[in-house]
Amino acid sequence: MAIDTDKIAQEAINAIADKIKNLKTLNIMVAGKTGVGKSTLINSVFREKLAETGMGKPVTDHMRKITKKGIPLAIYDTRGFELGKEVQTEVKKEVIDTISKGLATQDINKAIHCIWYCINTASNRVESEEIEWLKELSKDNQITQVPIIIVLTQSFSKKKADEMRKMLIDENLDVIQVIPVLAEDYEIDEDYVAKSYGLDVLIKVMGEALPEELMDTLQNVQIASLEEKKRHAQAAVATASLAAAGEGAAPIPFSDCALLIPTQLGMIASITVIFGFDVNKSIITALFSSTIGAGGATLLGKTVVSNLLKFIPGAGTVTGGAISAGTAGVITAALGEAYIGVMELVFKGEMSIDDIGTKKGKDVMSTMFKEQLKVKR
């Protein structure tokens, strides 16, 4: 049965576009004094350098909303904490009012989902008014129950950061976590550079605190944790592999093999959205052609499947014009894991997204696919 590779690639692009369109908007409120490193933190956690100077639309006297077209994320940046008690009280009221208005809409895209309160570890102290402000916010937040995370920014010294963390924990604040971070590598002198850390912990805690509907969004917009992206992508692969294999081990006739293609396309779309890279049809075409052959589908016919089976230990041979559903699951899993492997190389900067469409990229993908076939037993 002939399969239209170009059509399949276009269907994959459409599936990716649909998933991106259906992502919910993640809304995070970021508070703290001027100079604590909020912009650096935001730009280090999320893609597209959201917190550039001058960006953002004022929504209150002391708050601006930062968004960027095509990114399902909004940052509510509060200001004025360093201006005294009266202004701090105004800011707290604006925070609670903004949270309440979002909840009143009953629209997940407009609700505030998390609050980061940033404290500069390098200052070596936490002002008493900040503790008081957090306690008052926690009290006012009892109804809305928006998760609050204290982020200890500019934590050059892990020892000092840990001391400050313990001190804040002892205050019994109603926060879900106190997380020390160093958002960027920091050169102490020409002989020593303090390496960034803590951002992956922040993403993990966020993932535990946010509703399930926002999981894909969080992974799409974050650039701080490769491991979290991989974990969610591998869950998508496991789901697709199970769907391909089916509940039993009934053989799949070659005439029905095209029915598996939507499952595999959905898997590729999910992985692409999780990693947050822009891909085009030529990249998707390269993906399929370098893994499952020029036919463009995982299970196209006896020749293609027979060639794939030799890479799968114990898979046997094609019998009676059909293969086992288990083998279909193995091939689907290998395709997904190989794609994750390539996305990891792109994430690390070891390959560009455009390289996937080149001979080098195809060779890497083909090698990864064959290796995965051998280990997916």
252-305 pLDDT, tens digit per residue, is 444 444 545 788 899 999 999 999 999 998 898 888 888 765 333 443 333 344
Average pLDDT over residues 66-76: 94
Confidence of residue 80 (pLDDT cuts 50, 70, 90): low
Residue 323 has pLDDT above 80, yes or no: no
Residue 348 has pLDDT above 90, yes or no: yes
Confidence of residue 46 (pLDDT cuts 50, 70, 90): very high
pTM of the predicted model, to two decimals? 0.87
Domains parsed from the chain with CATH numbers: 24-221 (3.40.50.300), 225-375 (no CATH)
**Residue 352 one-letter amino acid:** S
Confidence of residue 177 (pLDDT cuts 50, 70, 90): very high
Weakest mean pLDDT among 157-166, 172-181, 294-303: 294-303
Confidence of residue 377 (pLDDT cuts 50, 70, 90): low
Average pLDDT over residues 139-167: 92
Highest mean pLDDT of the ranges 126-130, 243-247, 319-323: 126-130
CA dihedral angle for residue 169, residue 171, residue 174, residue 179, rounded to 10 degrees: -30
124-146 pLDDT, tens digit per residue, is 888 888 898 889 888 888 888 89
3 vs 91, more confident: 91
Residue 55 has pLDDT above 80, yes or no: no
Q: Round the CA-based radius of gyration of the chain to a whole number and report it.
A: 24
Highest mean pLDDT of the ranges 75-89, 202-216, 313-327: 202-216
